[in-house]
Amino acid sequence: MSRGDEGHPVAALLRCLPSVTTLLATSELASLRERLSHEVRVALIREALADVRREVRAGGLSASEITPAALAARVQRAAADLVRPPLRRVFNATGILIHTNLGRAPLSPAAQDAVARVVAGYSNLEMNLETGRRTSRLADVRDLLCRVTGAEDAMAVNNNAAAVFLVLQALAAGREVIVSRGELVEIGGSFRLPDIMAASGAILREVGTTNRTRVEDYAAALNDRTGLILKVHPSNFVVRGFTAAVERGALAPLAHERGIPLVEDLGSGALAQHPSDYLRGEPRIQEALEQGADLVTCSGDKLLGGPQAGLILGRAAWVARVGRHPAARIVRLDKLHLATLEATLLEYVRGNAGLDRIPLYRMMTRPVAELEAVAARIIDELERRGMPGVEATVVHTDSAAGGGALPDEQLPSVGVGLRVLSGSLDGFSRHLRLGVPAVVGRLEQDRLVLDLRTLNEDEWEVLPGLLADRWKEFRGASEEI
């Protein structure tokens, strides 16, 4: 008899499945009427029934698992997952300051307040309140960018890949762009510079070799079809040994003699205002502009410590050409990102006091002695609260910048190491990740390390109670199983 024939156990089970109407009428799903529309409830039930049919055919379910009550429980779990906001707060205890998977740089209190003000109602996004007339949404952020970086003109788009794409399309579509082979980078998510260039309509003209490029290589490649020279800072890798690269000061005369721009993608966006002790060797935006780069592009949510944005800075004539391109509207910033970017830049305008309020730099400059004291305090509190079956110790470790920035820099740091003596370390780590708020650390051999450098001060205070409560929940759930 075939699997689906009359009388076969699988066929019998499938015939026992309740209808959508029957499940809608169950008392178990009555509470969903107040929280979800009829259409969504029906869709969730149909999805649950489809999943069960697949599992029955695979031989994975019994009759007791396909009752109306059991199916209603499935639907309830799916409904709970659906209404839970997918984006939630995470305690970043990984030690990676600019963690792309966790939203990159955390925003300053001023930037958070700026978002709250803007979302509360309407805003003067494109209105000059003095004249009552329409204005550019970029007017204020342009002024702040110029003041902070020293650029003649500036604009912002929704990320740095968009900034590079827009510059290439506006200034070099259908023309050649000269790039050193050693600078054809790949950024996160498998986005490669040659692919962005192809999509923009520009024609890649590679010069030099992977490890050595000379100024003569650029000069030999210049011709009537050249649109611009592009220099790219390899912000997420380091090449050592028998290497040579051409400084921007040597490339600027070549570009200017031909009337074409020298564009430099600095990626991570380091500024002269940033502490040199922690950003050794990282090229600064002001330095690039002073040494002849006509346009500089970089991210807003890396070393700047602001929101996701792509910054285009430099000579007024070139910025204006880029800004007039139709694609500029496609990649423009919305009001929330503008508000947070403006608030972040205002902290730079305020000098060192403002820089201290940007979480990324407060985290970066924390002394190891301070972190040691915090770790000891947390461990004392864990012992007071009690976490039977867990051994907590002070761990000396290293933090990293992350986010495709400062690949060669390590910051000495301190964490709390948790060794699970009875139970599953992987299971407890997963339980911490799935809680609200989530706690994400890193597994090192037989312990979970929670690096304190990348946590905010308020997170330090609540972490002991959070860990103790989650451990109690985890042990309780494990005992039930």
Closest C-alpha to 307, from 267, 283, 336: 336
Of the ranges 268-277, 325-334, 354-363, which one carries the lowest mean pLDDT score? 268-277
Answer yes or no: are the C-beta atoms of 262 and 229 closer than 8 Å.
yes
Q: Which residues contact 224 (CB under 8 A, 6 or more apart)?
A: none
Question: What's the pLDDT tens digit per position in 156-170?
Answer: 999 999 999 999 999
pLDDT for the residue numbered 6: 41
Determine how β-strand 438-440 pairs with β-strand 90-92: parallel
Within 13 Å of residue 2, how many CA atoms lie on the same side as its CB? 2
**Amino acid making up residue 338:** L
Question: What's the pLDDT tens digit per position in 360-371?
Answer: 999 999 999 999
* CA triple 222-200-140, angle to 5 deg: 100
Report the helix count and the strand count for the chain, using DSSP H and E: 19, 17
Please report where in the chains the tokens 């500036």 appear, as a residue: 154
| Arithmetic mean of pLDDT, 369-384 | 97
Question: What's the pLDDT tens digit per position in 246-264?
Answer: 889 999 999 999 999 999 9
Determine how β-strand 447-451 pairs with β-strand 405-420: antiparallel
| Arithmetic mean of pLDDT, 202-218 | 92
Where residue 4 falls among pLDDT bands split at 50, 70, 90?
very low
- How far is 194 from 198, CA to CA, in rounded Å? 6
Q: Give the max Cα distance, the chain.
A: 86
pLDDT for the residue numbered 265: 95
Answer yes or no: are the C-beta atoms of 452 and 375 closer than 8 Å.
yes
pLDDT for the residue numbered 8: 58
Q: Which helix (H) or strand (E) holds 311?
A: strand 310-314
Where residue 1 falls among pLDDT bands split at 50, 70, 90?
very low
Handedness of CA 198, 180, 206, 237 (dihedral sign): negative
pLDDT for the residue numbered 189: 61
| Arithmetic mean of pLDDT, 98-125 | 93
Could you tell me which residues are beta bridge partners of residue 231? 264
- How far is 407 from 414, CA to CA, in rounded Å? 20
| Arithmetic mean of pLDDT, 84-90 | 88
pLDDT for the residue numbered 3: 44
* CA triple 271-253-285, angle to 5 deg: 5
- How far is 472 from 387, CA to CA, in rounded Å? 8
Question: What's the pLDDT tens digit per position in 403-444?
Answer: 655 666 789 999 999 999 988 999 999 999 999 999 999 999
User: How are the residues of the chain apportioned to helix, strand and coil, as percentages rounded to the nearest 5?
Assistant: 45, 20, 35
pLDDT for the residue numbered 317: 97
pLDDT for the residue numbered 384: 94
| Arithmetic mean of pLDDT, 100-119 | 94
Average pLDDT over all residues of the chain: 91
Q: Is the pLDDT of residue 28 over 90?
A: no
Task: Write out the DSSP string of 369-391.
Answer: HHHHHHHHHHHHHHHHH--TTEE
Within 13 Å of residue 8, how many CA atoms lie on the same side as its CB? 12
- For the chain, domains (ranges, CATH) are 9-83 (no CATH), 90-99+365-480 (3.90.1150.110), 109-357 (3.40.640.10)
What is the reported pTM? 0.87
Determine how β-strand 262-267 pairs with β-strand 295-299: parallel
Closest C-alpha to 228, from 194, 205, 279, 262: 262
